[in-house]
Amino acid sequence: MPKNEKNRRRKSHAERERIKAKKAASGASYTSAQSGTTHHHRGPEIGPVDGSGFGAGRKADMQTASALIGACVEKCRPCQASLADKVLAGDRLVVASLAGTVYSLLPSPSATCSPATRRFHAVAHDTGRDGYGPAVLAAVEELSQEDLEALLEDTLDVWTAAAGAAPAAEADAPGPEAGEEERDAHRFAAVGGTAYLMSAGIDQLLSPDEMRGLVKHAEKSAVSGDPVVCFLCDEPVDVAAESEVHIGVSTRAVAVDGRELDTVHPVWTHPGCGRTRIWPWPELMAERQRRGLYVAPEDRQPEKPTVPGPRNADYTHFSLVRKPGGGMVPLVLVEPGEPDEYGIEGYLAARLSEGFKPVDLSGGQPFPVLDGWHLRCERGRLVSVMRAGGGAWYRQEGGYATPGEWRRAARQRTALFLVVPAGTVGERQGDDWLAAVSRAAGAGHVLGGVVAVRGTLS
């Protein structure tokens, strides 16, 4: 075969592979990926916004924001990521208009929204006063990039809920990501309309039947006149009157016949007493002490002295890992510089409560998906780890430099994010590093999942 023909075929094959990779990253069809177009999502009809009401002498084009809401309604993750990046990089008057419209009407922000959104609501709820629009725009313009992203995500949740059910998806559109169908898997509705909200991670400790059994127990206890009691105020939980009841669990090691066994106890709480979560028993007892509630003498926790001085820096590692079924995915691993004050039980309880999941690194199981989480990059540097409604979970001023091969792999716009306990890896590299992570995974201490990658990679 002539040399020129070989080169032509090689280039043709490389181009097809490039298009396939682009299609996988964008979720688009071959034709749309090749032409650079994306799906068309019809959101609410939002005309250009006159900035004069916000004290600005310009108009804001809302077409991208409208398409973004449509992508959220239709659960098209690739378009959500790309359109959100465009909105975040554009005129902040767009976000001020979207957020101001909804939060000026809502009497209170969602209990799960970010601190940035709560602060914004305090301003936006007063927009009924003449001339208060400029304060709304000023509040948005003063936000950091992470807080702006958190406000946009919370705002999109409200707009998406108001937009209603999604219309039929386009033929090219990808289905929901793994885990999307289970967004409300831990919310149980009882006969009286009360919502029982269970902690993230509870499914790692209880079976579905056991979770349903907790709801039945609460209902039967209310009927018998002996209602369940809130662990954080010691007052009864009136499941007939509460619109929402929180159910968490506490893990506790107990001695049985000379053996130490882990037990799981339900933790009932009023929504106003604290968010539902998984507690290690010593931390739950310490929290009761802090609130002035009774704690049995054998469960009382000693005061932990505050250790002055600098803390050890967190350790962050970038690599590539093979996905079950083939292919490579960029990996980000974070190890805290300091151990959890309640030991490995505290680490596991905190991470599971935040939604992290055990990750099997042996290749036998697909990697879990962390719905609503993503890595934020700026010019190829990792600057933060974001979670929907919670703002920045992890932030690095100036960002971490990422290897070139990691950035190339991250163009698929997904990555595997892992967290390990302090002291697991440290500065070890090579085979020792891999062996250490594998041992931690075998013990169930490697938590995380697949997250989106957003921002700029070059």
Q: How far is Cα 78 from Cα 69, in angstroms, rounded to an integer?
A: 13
Alpha helices for 74-196 (secondary structure H): 77-89, 92-103, 115-124, 133-141, 145-163
Q: How far is Cα 151 from Cα 153, in angstroms, rounded to an integer?
A: 6
The pLDDT tens digits along the chain (458 residues) read 444 544 444 444 554 444 444 444 433 333 333 333 345 677 788 888 888 888 888 888 998 998 888 888 877 777 887 788 889 988 999 999 999 888 887 877 776 678 888 889 888 876 555 556 888 899 999 998 888 988 998 888 888 877 654 333 333 333 333 333 334 446 665 545 678 888 989 988 998 889 889 988 998 998 899 999 999 999 999 888 888 888 998 988 655 455 555 688 999 999 888 778 999 999 999 999 999 999 999 999 988 777 666 778 888 999 999 888 888 999 999 999 889 999 999 999 999 999 999 998 888 889 999 988 899 888 889 988 988 766 788 888 788 899 999 999 999 899 999 999 998 886 655 557 778 888 898 889 999 999 999 888 88
Q: How far is Cα 330 from Cα 409, in angstroms, rounded to an integer?
A: 6
Which phi and psi angles does 254 have, rounded to 5°?
-130, 155
Could you tell me the CA-to-CA distances from 49 to 97, 182, 361 in Å, in that order?
A: 7, 36, 49
Residue with tokens 């127990």: 217
Q: Note the pLDDT of residue 31.
A: 30
Q: Note the pLDDT of residue 382.
A: 93
Q: Note the pLDDT of residue 171.
A: 32
Q: Note the pLDDT of residue 416.
A: 96
As to burial, measured by CB atoms within 10 angstroms (0-12 exposed, 13-18 middle, 19+ buried), residue 452 is buried
Q: Strand (E) positions, 336-458? A: 357-358, 369-378, 381-387, 391-401, 414-419, 447-455
pTM exceeding 0.75 = no
As to burial, measured by CB atoms within 10 angstroms (0-12 exposed, 13-18 middle, 19+ buried), residue 210 is middle
Q: Strand (E) positions, 229-314? A: 244-256, 259-269, 278-280
Hey, what amino acid is at 19? I
Could you tell me the CA-to-CA distances from 343 to 70, 150, 267, 311, 452 in Å, in that order?
A: 44, 30, 20, 17, 30
